[in-house]
Amino acid sequence: MTCSGTSALRFAAAVAVGLAAVAASAKTETAAASGDAHPAADLIIRDARVWTLNPAQPQAEAVAVLDGRITAVGADSSVLLWRGPKTRVVDAMGNRLLPGFNDAHVHFADGGAALTAVQLNDATSLKEFVKRIADYAVHAPQGEWIRSGNWDETKWSPAALPTRQDIDAVTPNNPVSLDRYDGHMIIVNSQVLKLAGITAKTLDPPGGVIVRDASGQPTGALKDAAIELVDHVTPVPTPAQRRRIIENALHEAASHGVTSVQDMTLDYGDLAVYSQLLREGKLSVRFYGAPPIGKVSDQAKLGIGHAFGSDSLRIGALKMFADGSLGSRTAYFFEPFTDEPQNRGLLFKDMLPLSRTRQRLQLADASELQVCTHAIGDAAISTTLDLYQEIEKRNGPRDRRWRIEHAQHMAARDFERFAQLHVIASVQPYQAIDDGRWAEARIGHDRASRTYAFRTFIDHGVRLAFGTDWPIAPLDPLLTLYAATTRATLDGKYSQGWFPEQKVSIQEAIAAYTVGSAYAEFQEHEKGSIEPGKLADMILLSQDVLTIAPAAIRDTHVLKTWLGGVEVYAARDSSL
Ligand SMILES: [Zn+2]
């Protein structure tokens, strides 16, 4: 899964050459065979099984591309009329062609950073976790921070949180701050606690927890808002480091057929890198970024409104947090956790106090900005819907497309409200087969039955947008399609599906990942389906996911990825 710096560079150069070639293709060349006046296509993909996502023409054989956009879709014979002497013709050999995947919820730079960081997610014991950190630390320059990791203690037995003592001995020369895979907890070593000045006397910040041992000493685990206690000592990456990380992420995206991403932690320092890559013709994914809600006044001042920018790079959204996560026991519920009767989670600091949250939302709405709120527990989702409802009541109905990210554990009465308020459910099905291993023990059967309730959302007419939350889950969309259609948990315990009544069809899953995600970023007229006029973002798959058994979907891989008709990825084993 990882990719070296050199291959990322080679890839970037190839994208630049490809994009330049498209720019240079003169419109004066005409299609020889047609006899019509229309110009020749730059690219024709023929003999494909095209699932277009266009209800007016669901299936086709071939697609022609001109100047980055789709210009013809249909039978080989009709589309080949667009062929000219310089048209590149790709024979898809009967493979399945789909619109590029649009991941509606990623942390793109974090994902890029995770590719080269210490890999802890699949460690199956505390011993293995410590060993991997030790092996990594041996090669880390003295004093350099060891970060990321994405550990998951639920894969160990017993599933106890790691402590600073576990890692201190193997990291004497490096500050260590390792993310739990859900992004709602970190474990730091004693060196970092010292640097940040966190002691037994430090109070828990609002919306956060400093985990402590029996004697009241911090264990090194910091939850939600407490994570920020180390921010002021954590080094900020240089522009060159940011660029390397983002280039790695771009390569990862192209290799998985992800042609658009919606970034839920846009940092202005990264925005400068995306902008530079765009100017250089090397931005090989379409990017929509949402900075944190605390920065609402920046975009409000500019008056840009939602989804402002070009086809390739846009801003105009805001990310807010209503609560934490189920795994970290910081998701906010009406009733306590089934296995922890004193705890019902907590609202995130973005919601404290609610009067400030209201002001921010009011400013966002007055500025026509889009709001995307992370809400996991049923009470967090309800509170967010209440706030959205107040805004609509005050300012009147409008095409806001405000979103709830994750929408994980729904109160039964809120599905209806979701639909009435036209709120988009931006969901990550892979988490259902990951958390499904242990979620029921934590919240009980009744609440679990409305967890990752994709079928119920669709039945209520709620619009779904699919994504992964990468690097919290793998970026690979085939795994997400597998998860949504099988709900077969990763531990093999529910091979027929965890709450199988919530499965969706492969057609519904692909739609949520393409047209659904495009709608969630106001881009449904630009992308999401293969039809004339739309951006030529397409992928070719090694297996026909529409006809194979859902259990086999995860063995599928991407053969080719095109962005605006430019090939940005070709599998090594692809002879096409
Ligand atoms: Zn996220």
Write the pLDDT tens digit of every residue in 62-117. 999 999 999 999 999 999 999 999 999 999 999 999 999 999 999 999 999 999 89
pLDDT of the residue at 529:
98
Q: How far is the CA of 470 from the centre of ligand 1 (A)?
A: 7
Q: Which are the contacts of 81, defined by CB distance < 8 A and separation ≥ 6?
A: 31, 33, 34, 36, 72
Mean pLDDT, the chain, integer: 92
Ligand 1 centroid from CA 393, angstroms: 28
Quote the ligand 1 centre to 475 CA distance (angstroms): 12
Strand-pairing partners, residue 563, are: 566
- Model confidence at 220: pLDDT above 60: yes
CA dihedral 266, 264, 161, 325 (to 10 degrees): 150
How much is the pLDDT for 371? 98
Distance 104 CA to ligand 1 centre (A): 10
Q: In the β-sheet with 176-180, what is the strand arrangement from edge to edge?
A: 146-151, 176-180, 185-188, 218-224, 208-212
84 contacts 34 by C-beta, under 8 angstroms: no
Structural Rg of the chain based on CA atoms: 24
CA 140 centroid distance within chain = 29
For residue 27, the CA-to-ligand 1 centroid distance in Å is 43
Instruction: Please state, in angstroms and rounded to a whole number, the distance separating the CA atoms of residues 563 and 568.
Output: 6
Distance from the CA of 369 to the center of ligand 1, in angstroms? Answer: 19
CA of 228 to the centre of ligand 1 (A): 16
Which helix (H) or strand (E) segment is 279 a member of?
Answer: helix 268-279
Residue 185 alpha carbon to ligand 1 centre in Å: 13
Residue 23, pLDDT > 90, answer no
Residue in 233, 131, 228 with CA at minimum distance from that of residue 175? 233
Ligand 1 centroid, distance to 319 Cα (angstroms):
9
State in Å: Cα 235 to ligand 1 middle: 22
Q: How far is the CA of 150 from the centre of ligand 1 (A)?
A: 13
Tell me the CA–centroid distance for residue 340 and ligand 1, in Å: 25
Find, among 69, 60, 136, the residue nearest to 92 by Cα: 60
- Residue 309 gets the label, from left (phi > 0), alpha (psi -120 to 50) or beta, of left
Q: How far is the CA of 93 from the centre of ligand 1 (A)?
A: 38
CA 107 to ligand 1 centroid distance, Å: 6
Which residue type does 286 have? R
Q: How far is the CA of 68 from the centre of ligand 1 (A)?
A: 31
Residues 365, 370, 376, 381, CA torsion sign: positive
> 322 C-alpha vs ligand 1 centroid, how far in Å?
12
- 106 Cα: distance to centroid of ligand 1 (angstroms): 6
User: What is the Å distance from ligand 1's center to 132 Cα?
Assistant: 25
| d(CA 426, ligand 1 centre) in Å | 10
Say how many Å lie between the CA of residue 373 and the centre of ligand 1.
Answer: 10
Q: ∠88-94-95 over CA atoms, to 5°? A: 85
Please report the pLDDT score of residue 237 as a whole number: 87
Return d(Cα 471, Cα 480) in angstroms, integer. 13
**The pair of three-digit structure tokens given for residue 347, joined into one six-digit string:** 């609202």
Instruction: Tell me which H or E stretch contains 510.
Output: helix 506-513
Please give the distance, rounded to the nearest whole angstrom, from the Cα atom of residue 567 to the centre of ligand 1. 29
**Which protein residues have a CB closer than 5 Å to ligand 1 (ion)?**
264, 469
pLDDT of residue 116: 85
From the CA of 465, how far away is ligand 1's center (Å)? 14
Give me ligand 1 centre to Cα 428, in Å: 10
Residue 10 predicted with pLDDT over 80 = no
Distance CA 176, CA 170 (A): 10
pLDDT digits (tens, 9 = 90+) for 185-214: 999 999 999 999 999 999 999 889 999 999
CA-CA distance, 61 to 77, in Å (whole number)? 9
Higher pLDDT, residue 236 or 575 = 236
Positive or negative, the Cα torsion across 454, 470, 285, 322? positive
Q: Cα of 264 to ligand 1 centre, how many Å?
A: 6
Average pLDDT over residues 479-496: 96
- Residue 95 Cα to ligand 1 middle (Å): 33
Instruction: Report the separation in Å between the CA atom of 524 and the middle of ligand 1, taken as the mean of its atom positions.
Output: 22
- Separation of 289 CA from ligand 1 center, angstroms? 12
Burial code (b: 16+ CB inside 10 Å, e: under 16) for 326-347 equals bbbbbbbbeeebbeeeeebbbb
For residues 74 and 535, the answer to whether their CB atoms sit within 8 Å is no
Determine the distance separating the centroid of ligand 1 and the alpha carbon of 249, expressed in angstroms.
16
Q: Measured between alpha carbons, how far is 286 from 309 in angstroms, rounded to an integer?
A: 11
How close is the Cα of 76 to the center of ligand 1, in Å? Answer: 42
| % of the chain at pLDDT higher than 90 | 87
- Within a 10 A sphere around the Cβ of 437, how many other Cβ atoms? 17
Average pLDDT score over residue span 271-290: 97
State residue 29's pLDDT score: 52
**What's the CA-to-centroid distance between 110 and ligand 1, angstroms?**
10
Q: What is the CA(540)–ligand 1 centre distance, in A?
A: 28
Q: What is the pLDDT of residues 442-460, one digit of tens each?
A: 999 999 999 999 999 999 9
- The H or E element containing residue 538 is strand 538-541
Query: How far does the centroid of ligand 1 lie from the alpha carbon of residue 330, in Å?
Result: 15
Tokens of residue 313, six digits: 């790079």
Give the Å distance between the CA of 467 and the centre of ligand 1. 10
Sign, CA torsion 525/528/531/533: positive
Cα(320) to ligand 1 centroid in Å equals 10
Cβ neighbours of residue 103 under 8 Å, at least 6 residues apart?
Answer: 253, 258, 260, 261, 262, 466, 467, 468, 470, 475, 477, 513, 517
- Residues 178-187: what's their mean pLDDT? 92
User: In what helix (H) or strand (E) does residue 146 lie, and over which residues does it extend?
Assistant: strand 146-151
Q: Determine the distance separating the centroid of ligand 1 and the alpha carbon of 124, expressed in angstroms.
A: 24
pLDDT at 328: 86
CA of 105 to the centre of ligand 1 (A): 6
pLDDT band (50, 70, 90) for residue 183: confident
How many other CB atoms are there within 10 angstroms of residue 448's CB atom?
A: 20
14 CA distance to ligand 1 middle (Å): 30
> Is residue 97 helix, strand or coil?
strand
Residue range 161-189: mean pLDDT, rounded: 94
261-271: average pLDDT: 95
Tens-place pLDDT, residues 490-504: 999 998 999 999 999
Output the CA 447–ligand 1 centroid distance in Å: 22
Task: Please give the single-letter amino acid code of residue 555.
Answer: D
Is-contact 23 268, C-beta < 8 A? no
Q: Is 70 left (phi over 0), alpha (psi -120 to 50) or beta?
A: beta
Quick one: tokens of 554? 């995860």
pLDDT band at 2 (very low <50, low <70, confident <90, very high): very low
**Separation of CA 471 and ligand 1 centre (Å):** 9
